[in-house]
Structure 1
Amino acid sequence: MKTVRERLEAATVDGKDVWTAGGADEAQIQALERSLEVRLPPSYRQFLASTGAMNLGGIEVAGIIDGDALDLSGGSAYGETMRARDDFALPPTLLVIQPDGDAPHYIDLASPDSSGEMAVVCFQLNTKSTRAVAQDFEHWLCEWVLPVDAPEA
Structure 2
Amino acid sequence: MALIDVFKGIDLAVKHGFEIDLEGKKPASLIEAAEQALGIVFPPSYRDFLLSFGCGDIAGHEFYGVIGPDFSNAGIPDAIWLTLRERVDSNLPSRLVVVSAGGDGSYYSLDCGRVSDDKECPVIIWWPSASEEENLDKNEVLFKDFGAFFLDRIRSSL
Unmatched 5+ residue regions in structure 1? none
Where relative contact order (Cα < 8 A, 6+ residues apart) is larger, the structure is: 2
What residue is the counterpart of 2:154 in the other structure? 146
Distance 1:131 1:21, change over 3 A: same
Secondary structure class of the residue paired with 2:89: helix
CA distance in 2, matches of 1:142, 1:69: 29
**Alignment of 1:68 onto 2:76:** no
CA distance in 1, matches of 2:144, 2:156: 18
For these two proteins, the number of residue pairs brought into alignment is 148
What amino acid is the match of 1:132? V
Secondary structure class of the residue paired with 2:36: helix
Secondary structure class of the residue paired with 1:106: strand
CA distance in 2, matches of 1:33, 1:149: 31
What residue is the counterpart of 2:130 in the other structure? 127
Map Cα deviations across residues 20-49 of structure 1 (whole Å, 9 max, x no partner): 010111101110111111211011111011
Unmatched 5+ residue regions in structure 2? 133-138
Percent identity reads 26
CA RMSD between the two structures = 2.4
What is the 5 A alignment of 1:2-151? Answer: 3-65=5-67, 67-68=68-69, 70=71, 72-102=74-104, 103-125=106-128, 127-128=130-131, 130-143=139-152, 145-147=153-155
CA distance in 2, matches of 1:40, 1:6: 20
Q: TM-score, normalised by structure 2?
A: 0.81
